[in-house]
Amino acid sequence: MAGANNKIQCFTCNKEKITYPCKGCLKEFCLMDFMEHQRILNDELNYIVNEYNEFKQRINGQKQNPQNDLLIQQIDEWESNSIEIIQHKAQECRKIAMGYLPTLFNDIEKKFTDLSEQIKQIRKENEINLNDLRNQLREIIQELNNPSKISVKQDSQSFINEVSIISSKKSKFKKWKQNAITVVGGNGKGQELNQLNYPYGIFLDKKTNIFLVGYENHRIALWKYNLKEGQTIKVGNRIDQLSHPTDVIVDQQNHSIIVADYGNRRVVRWWNQNPHILIENIHCLGLTMDKNGFLYVSDCEKNEVRRWKMGKNNEGIIVAGGNGKGDQLNQLNRPTYIFVDEEQSIYVSDRNNHRVMKWKKDAKEGRIVAGGNHNGKNLNQLSSPQGVIVDDLGQVYVADGVNHRVMRWCAGKEEGEIVVGGNQLNGPSGLSFDDEGNLYVVNCWNHRVEKFEIIL
């Protein structure tokens, strides 16, 4: 115990007593208060010693198991995420690579078949050009034996090498025979089952059955594959149940038919011959449906396109236009036919602006992907565009109504190219492809549907 001093005022009780100094804080305490002060200091010391021991245990633990360190955990998480990204990318590349092989062999088989036909024809005509045959055969053999046309490309710009599948074989633009085959109508304008009266929208199901809108017939007709007459889809006993319909789609999950009943300002669904109004008070011209079952409808009065959740009573969500009539990038002027791709981007035939617009999902404005250079017949122009469809390569096909042609516009190009047209078409409206790539065009003013067979 510290040595006692003569009577001095205690720091704690403030009484003059014999005191004892604390060497730590240099204060004087009476015996009782000195003992209490020492107890408090001992408790604080014990607390510090305990913290020290706990900290020492943490250090020793982390030295023995460094994975518990936060930095190491972050590195482990980065490693796990990177592996998932690599595995996902590798799986995508596997699918693409596997997809190339059937295409490669199909192309080779087609060339081999063409070569066989040439040989047969040469034998018949006794005109032999062996050099040409040798060259063709040599090209086919080289194409089969040369695996370098498909390779793996690595991008080492990033820390983790990015891989992708590339092919030295250039993608070919599809072409179609210019002489069309009339598959629907062709018997003049009229009300008979083998006739049409200003047809507009078209829909092909998986069996290549054709659902067709008869604008002046006030009906929807089903033309089964390779049949010469249509079958009017009965929707009730009243002949005026439809008024100037403009477009039709089939919900192939439940086999219901959805129609833009333009004259009655509504969208109607028929399921098992039972009609049901989906949307009212809308000047609907075009319809489409995405892979998730959302319904898209163009309104030519409000100059907008809305997306609707099927089976829900709601106002729909504006996905294109909706900012009044105009030619700005956030406006439309009488939108007609529409198309939605896998990413829910909307393609709109902006008829009175003579252009096709693409609106990405949740975008506030669109961008021009075809036309947009005023009304005209040059390759960078459109005139009252109608039907629009987009292929897997993002190429836009549009029925150029008043110019009597179908045009293809590729991304980044300032002008399009004529796919089919000339004397074959007169006021084309609806467009569709079948599973083989054949092109179907509704020849509105000639009251028939034309099929253009694919050749590439």
| Domain definitions of the chain by residue range | 8-60, 99-169, 175-455
A 10 A CB-CB count for 421 gives 16
The DSSP code for 257 is E
DSSP reduced 3-state for 456: coil
Residue 5: strand pairing partners: 19
A 10 A CB-CB count for 322 gives 16
pLDDT of residue 163 exceeding 70: no
Give the full edge-to-edge strand order of the sheet including 274-280: 247-251, 256-261, 266-271, 274-280
Residue 451: strand pairing partners: 181, 440
Could you give the C-alpha distances from 110 to 106, 107, 117, 129, 175, in angstroms and in order? 6, 5, 11, 21, 16
Confidence of residue 140 (pLDDT cuts 50, 70, 90): low
pTM for this entry: 0.63
pLDDT single digits (tens) 336-383: 999 999 999 999 999 999 999 999 999 999 999 999 999 999 999 999
Q: Find the angle CA(301)-CA(241)-CA(270) to the nearest 5 degrees.
A: 90
Distance CA 184, CA 444 (A): 11
pLDDT single digits (tens) 75-89: 777 788 778 878 877
Task: Taking each helix axis as running N to C, give the angle between helix 130-145 and helix 70-125, from 0 to 180 degrees, rounded to the nearest 10.
Answer: 160
pLDDT of residue 416 exceeding 80: yes
Superfamily of domain 175-455: TolB, C-terminal domain (2.120.10.30)
For 94, the token pair is: 């596997």
